[in-house]
Structure 1
Amino acid sequence: MKPGVKMNPKKIQLIEAGMKLFAEKGYHMTSVEEIAGGAGVSKGAFYLHFHSKKDFITTAFHYYYQEITNRIENVQKENLAPRDRFAKQIEVVTNYIYQYKDFLTMHLHQNISIRENTDALIQQMNAQNFHWLRQNINNIYGEQMAAYYQDMIIQLEGLMNGYFKWIIIDGINIDRNQLGAYIVRRMDDIASGLFERQEAPLVTADHIPKVYQTEMSVSNILIAMKNKIAAMGLAEDKVNELDEVIGIMLTETAKEHPQKAIIQGLLVHFQRIPELEQECKELARLLHMDLLD
């Protein structure tokens, strides 16, 4: 599934049935027949939607990733104070975890490396999560905490992942409407402690892998382009077409060695739109390539 493209309800039904089975039996012990049976369709109907079980799991990763990305982006568009916005985003993530617990259980329990695109997507998810946290920290505290961004991200990730692990693995039920604000207050405690004690940063920007820094910038521009396209009033078919191209670019640029020729060809779709000229130039600069005429 590519961002912005609506998925067939039967396809979603198959994905959700498959994730439940993977969580119970494991990916490798679950057959296509069982996935189809769990969704109430024939094995032949499964292959109308997916080429193989590998294609199935890759599509599932894209589906769930885009689901949570869309929900976070919707909160970002709301007119909220930075602390309230971040707290609500954490609340959205928490509700997502409860809703799609089967997928997350499978993801944590299974060591699945299906194909290059899935591994690239996971790498992209990690990079965007880093950027998401950094952006919220910057929005709340400003540049006064810039030296501590990395340390705060690491501690914040540990705090959230701890609660999420207890929800997914240990099955605890907590007040979903309280967790976001609670974590933001704990983040305030971390920030004030670092700032008041004038702690020397333990992890600096130099420690961050370059692949994170590049992906963070490129993916942020691509998502900004996606949002700009949605607001242009273009025909729905055109929006879906461009969103699909952005999805392919997100996957390609997340690879350790992205193919510049592919990206150059895909960027042509956006170079023809005057409102996206600046973004195209910035992507070319970050990826050290020329734009095609």
Structure 2
Amino acid sequence: MNAKKIKLIEAGMKLFAEKGYHMTSVEAIADGAGVSKGAFYLHFESKKDFIMTAIHYYHEEIAGRIEHVKSENLPPRDSFAKQIDVVTTYIYEYKDFLMMHFYQNISIGENTDAFIKEMNAQNFHWLRQNVITIYGDQVEPYDPDIIIQLEGLINVYFKWIIIDGISIKRNQLGAYIVRRMDDIVSGLLERNEAPLVTAADIPDVYREEGSVVEVLNTMKAKIETLDLAGEKADELREVLKIIQSEAGKEQPQKVVIQGLLVHFQRMPEFATECKDIARLLHMDLLD
């Protein structure tokens, strides 16, 4: 994403936090970024497009922070604790903006449901990956139950930070949550509990579409490692965003995804990922 677009997003988010989404005009966002109203529309079709792009931007920012922690190759428990801590820090940084989302009714178009499903799928696979890395195959029957309880713990603490204003040391919540997860896992194993939610109960969106999300995240990370011109990298990121939105729909248009993947098929570095997406969506790649 280019610098001017990021500057507009940051100016807009600051205004939304101060005045609210509905009370902030396009003109105010442009003024806050030091550009003309016309320049705003060079980057965004509308205020709804702007807020959706901003949410994507911040979501990708936090995903990038998590990936950075993963790349440090810490012991699994330490890595997961630090991942939670970087999310906590992020929430404190953008607390006002997040609070605005809780209290205001913002309609951002028909792609909202698809994007929410994408985020839920990413969150599920993020938690599951850490659970499996820490505990191994012994907890496989309990995967869904552990993830549900873990997600509940994390989300409620974040709700108390955002809505209720409690203060938690940003480098302590992660380790605390990991210890509570140890308690959950040991309790399930010691009591030989029967799972409440089994693998067969997991919604389809967390299966195939969730796997597509993982592949797309790999592709996003790979873009950052390649020596690409700024405009080319921005173009590929935008293509991935559209693919992710389309793949998250109940009935994705495979011909759209096939056409978009051509951008990556021309690059040998993405050959494996293109094949994986085609396999997961049960479609052929275009020649």
| 1:271 to partner: Cα distance | 1.9
1:119 aligns with 2:119: no
Separation in 1 of the partners of 2:234 and 2:25? 32
Which structure carries more relative contact order (alpha carbon 8 Å, separation 6+)? 1
In the aligned structure 1, how far is the partner of 2:42 from the partner of 2:264? 32
The residue that corresponds to 1:13 in the other structure is 10
Counterpart CA distance in 1 for 2:12 and 2:176 is 33
What fraction of aligned residue pairs are identical, expressed as a percent?
67
1:227 Cα deviation from its structure 2 partner: 2.4
Greater mean deviation of Cα atoms: 269-278 or 151-160: 269-278
Aligned with 1:271 (options 258, 265, 273): 265
Name the amino acid aligned to 2:233: V
Which region of structure 1 is more displaced relative to structure 2, 66-75 or 32-41? 32-41
Instruction: State the SS of the aligned residue for 2:194.
Output: coil
Whether 1:79 aligns to 2:76 is no
- 1:279 is paired with a residue whose SS is helix
Letter in 2 for 1:207: D
CA spacing shift, 1:30–1:226, aligned 2, 3 Å: closer
Distance, in Å, in 1 between the alignment partners of 2:30 and 2:264 is 39
Is 2:89 aligned against 1:131?
A: no
Letter in 2 for 1:107: H
Mapped to 1, the partners of 2:30 and 2:222 lie a distance apart of 38
1:190 matched residue in structure 2: 184
Unpaired runs of at least 5, structure 2: none
Unpaired runs of 5+ residues, structure 1, are none
**Which of 51, 55, 75 is the equivalent residue of 1:57?**
51
Displacement of 1:73 = 1.2
Instruction: Indicate which of 88, 91, 94 corresponds to 2:85.
Output: 91
Give the alignment's TM-score, normalised by structure 1: 0.89
Q: Please, what is the CA RMSD of the aligned residues?
A: 2.2
- Aligned match of 2:286: 292
Amino acid of the residue matched to residue 104 of structure 1?
Answer: L
Q: 2:172 aligns with which of 175, 178, 182?
A: 178
Q: 1:260 aligns with which of 254, 257, 267?
A: 254
Give the C-alpha shift of residue 77 in structure 1.
Answer: 1.1
Deviation at 1:207, TM superposition (A): 1.5
Equivalent residue pairs, number? 286
